[in-house]
Amino acid sequence: MVRASIGTLTVLGLRDIRMDAAPTTAYLMIGGRCSSDCAYCGQGRSVAGDHSRLSRISWPEVDEDQLIAAFVAHPGAFQRVCFQATASRGVFRQLLSLVQRIHQASGLPVSVSYRVTRDEEAEQLLDAGVERIGVAIDCCSEQLYPTIRGGTLADAKSLVKSLSEKYPGRVTTHLIIGLGEDEMEASELMLDMRHAGVLVSLFAFTPVQGTQMEHGSPPPLLAYRKLQFLLGLLDWEDEEHFCVAYDAKNGIHSFGLNEAQMRSFLNRHFLFVTHGCPGCNRPFYTEVPGGTMFNFPNIPAETAQGEIDQFIQDLKTDGFEFAEGQNGEGEGSLTGDMLDYVGDEESLSPRPDSR
Ligand code: SF4
C-alpha cells in the first residue's frame, strides 16, 4: 500500500484540490499499521479510527504504477521525494523497491524517514538511491521520552549520532516542539545534533484526533520562533559570537546579540520557513491556513517584515535580554542559569544544504 499526501497527488495531477501553497517535495507514506505507539502520532497502533492522517495532512492511497507514471509525466514538478515508513512488517523491502522505482522515474534526490536499526539497512537504502536518511527523535525530553515515544532519548540520540558518524552529511532528524519539553531541552538537543553533523527539522506539535495527545495544544509561537532563530544561527554562522542563555524556567533568555543584530540577521535570512532536507517545504503540515504559521512553506513577501517585528516585540514583552552596545559580543549582561558559547566551535562548518 502506498499513500501520498493530498498536495503531492494534486501536483501530480491525480487529485484536484485548491492549495494555498504547493509542496516542493513529493511526500509518500508506506507501511501498514505502525507497531510503535507514540502518544502524538496518528499512525500509532492504538489509534482509533482510520490511519489516513499524519499531522494535519490526509494521505489517500494510490496505485503504485499510476504513481510512477505520474512522476514520469511531471518532470520538474518537485525538488525531492520523501518517504515516511511506518514500523510494520515487510516495510523495509517495500521501501527499497519503491525508492528504486521512483528514483529512476523521477531522477530526484530521495529522503527516507525510517528507523534504521542495522548498518546493512542504511547501506541498502543508500545503494538504492537514498540521499538522506531521516531518523526521527521527535521528543526532546529525557523524562517524557519513555511515556510519549517509548525507549529512551539517550538511545535515540546515540542511534542518530552513530549514523551521522558513518554517513556524514546524510542524516536528518525531526524534533517536535510542544510535547512537554522545555526550551532548554530542545535547544541543547539541537546543539548536540548540530555538533554531530545531523540536519535538524523542527515540527510544531499538532493534536491528532484519536491519539493519546488529541487534547494537547500546539507550542507557544514565541518558543518555536526562538528555536527557529537558534537553528538559523547554527546554519548560517553570520553571527560568530552568539551564545544561548537560559532563565530560571529553562526558557531561552538571550542569544548574546543586540536587537539590531537580531533584526539584521532575520532580514538576511527569513528563518520562519520550513527547515529540513533541501527542497522540503511541507505546506500546512502543522498549520491551518489563516492560523498560526509555525513554518511558512515559502517566504511570505508581504508579511515577512511583520513576522520579524512581531517576534522582536514578543521577545521584549517576555523579558528576553538583548545584549547592549553595537556588537552585542561581551557587552551584554547575561544572567541565565546556563551559558553555551557555540558560535566559534571549529566543528560548525557552513551547511548551505540544510535550509
Ligand atoms: S525534513 Fe522533509 S524531506 Fe527531510 S525527512 Fe523530514 S519531511 Fe522528509
pLDDT digits (tens, 9 = 90+) for 99-123: 999 999 999 999 999 989 888 999 9
Residue 337 has pLDDT above 80, yes or no: no
Q: What are phi and psi of 107, to 5 degrees?
A: 70, 15
Residue 44 has pLDDT above 90, yes or no: no
Residue 341 has pLDDT above 50, yes or no: no
Residue nearest (by alpha carbon) to ligand 1 atom 1 = 276
95-112 in b/e form (b: 16+ CB < 10 A) is: bbebbebbbebbebbbbb
How far is the centre of ligand 1, averaged over its atoms, from the C-alpha of 276 (Å)?
6
Residue nearest (by alpha carbon) to ligand 1 atom 8 = 82
The owner of cell 515487510 is 90
User: Is residue 214 within 8 Å of residue 208, measured between CB atoms?
Assistant: yes
Q: Which residues pair with 111 in a beta bridge?
A: 82, 132
How far is the centre of ligand 1, averaged over its atoms, from the C-alpha of 39 (Å)?
21
CA atoms within 13 A on the CB side of 231: 29
- Residue 203 CA to residue 223 CA, distance in Å, equals 12
Lowest mean pLDDT among 153-162, 248-257, 304-313, 317-326: 317-326
The owner of cell 511558512 is 296
User: Residues with beta carbon inside 6 Å of ligand 1?
Assistant: 25, 80, 82, 111, 113, 134, 172, 174, 201, 276-277, 280, 282
Residue 238 has pLDDT above 80, yes or no: no
Atom of ligand 1 nearest to the CA of 275: 1
Sequence-distant (6+) residues with CB within 8 A of 52 are 3, 58, 59, 60, 61
